[in-house]
Amino acid sequence: MTNDNAPPDIANLETLRRTDFRTLGERIEGKVRDIYVQPERLVLVTTDRHSSFDRIVAHIPGKGEILNRTSAFWFDATRDIVRNHVIALPDPNVTVARRCTPLKIEIVMRGYLTGVTSTSIWTHYQAGRRDFGSIVLPDGMRKNQPLPAPAFTPSTKEATHDETITPAQVLERGLLPADLLEQVDDTAQKLFRRGQEIALSRGLILVDTKYEMGLDADGELTLIDEIHTPDSSRWWMADTYEARVAAGQEPDYFDKEFLRHWFVEHCDPYKDAVIPEAPQALVAELAVRYQQIFSRLTGRSLTPREKGQPILERIRDNVAAYAI
């Protein structure tokens, strides 16, 4: 394991806002990824778009590469557990993937009694809930305490707001058959434990995460989308965790919420048609934090940019072989 790399010179990093490579197939714009649909595969271009409040609030230099390469690192580190959708990585921002039929649930794994939102496990615990479907918690637990075992807490996929449900409700609603649900649960548990083990060896605690899975053309369970990225996972520093929690403090974490807080203080990001531009100082700070966690986990740094070569031209050249 190498030491954290020095953060990049943010001011000199070009941002990737969107792409339009018509030779790659039909383009679907997701919150962060531009998805090019082909008969048997997808070309996924991860941009620097930053989504909060169900809208794009900023563009973070280097973020797309970090998300794409972080997922590549974890896909490789977990391929003995479950098949994944990766065919090739022709560019730091691009994954060529097998087309799969996504499952009708999001797979959420939690390792700690934490969170501040209305759907968090800590919020429900404070309100008196103890049975979370895959795990029943005892009375007297404290915030940020480890759960007795990692908890599988699936959620629905809604157009507006996902709903946390129990495994029993997954079956009751016909979202997955029993045998597939059991396989998903077992696979998610193994992925989460592998993530925690590797993260701890790098001085980090993987607190919680979410996975996307689908069925490939042969009906085989396949890990898709992204895995253990700063967008899909919560991370704490391991070396200060016990002392801070014992002192009643919040864990020392890689926090990207400060940008959300700024928007909440300066506008109504859910209702305002136009919101203010994110301050460049906060954009730079968030870019550095993404870089730090990427370097900590993988021991790698961002791809050096060739002087004068625009990122769109680089991607276009690197994906030319996948035109249809």
Q: Distance from CA of residue 318 to its chain's centroid?
A: 25
Contact partners, residue 12, CB within 8 Å, separation at least 6: none
Residues 6 or more apart whose CB falls under 8 angstroms from that of 91 comprise 314, 315, 318, 319
pLDDT at position 6 = 46
Q: Please provide residue 193's backbone torsions phi and psi, each rounded to the nearest 5 degrees.
A: -65, -40
Nearest residue to 318 (alpha-carbon basis) of 128, 94, 163? 94
Report the pLDDT value the prediction gives residue 9, as an integer from 0 to 100. Answer: 55
Helix 280-298 and helix 63-77: axis angle, to 10°? 20
At position 174, the amino acid (one-letter code) is: G
Q: What is the pLDDT of residue 3?
A: 43
pLDDT of amino acid 153:
93
Helices (H), the chain: 63-77, 121-126, 167-172, 178-201, 241-246, 257-266, 280-298, 311-318
Strand partners, 41: 98
Assign domain 102-246 one CATH number from 3.40.50.12160, 3.40.50.1220, 3.30.470.20, 3.30.390.50.
3.30.470.20
- The reported pLDDT for the residue numbered 54 is 83
Residue 117 confidence (pLDDT): 75
Per-10-residue mean pLDDT, the chain, length 324: 47 86 97 97 98 92 96 98 98 98 97 86 94 93 96 86 88 98 98 98 96 97 97 94 95 82 91 95 92 92 79 97 97
CA distances from 187 to 64, 97, 190, 231 (A): 27, 20, 5, 21
Say if 10-100+256-322 and 102-246 have the same CATH topology: no
Q: Where are the domains of the chain?
A: 10-100+256-322, 102-246
Here the tokens at position 39 are 């008969």
The CATH number of 10-100+256-322, from 3.30.365.10, 3.90.1010.10, 1.20.1250.20, 3.30.200.20, is 3.30.200.20
In whole angstroms, what is the distance from residue 207 CA to residue 114 CA? Answer: 9
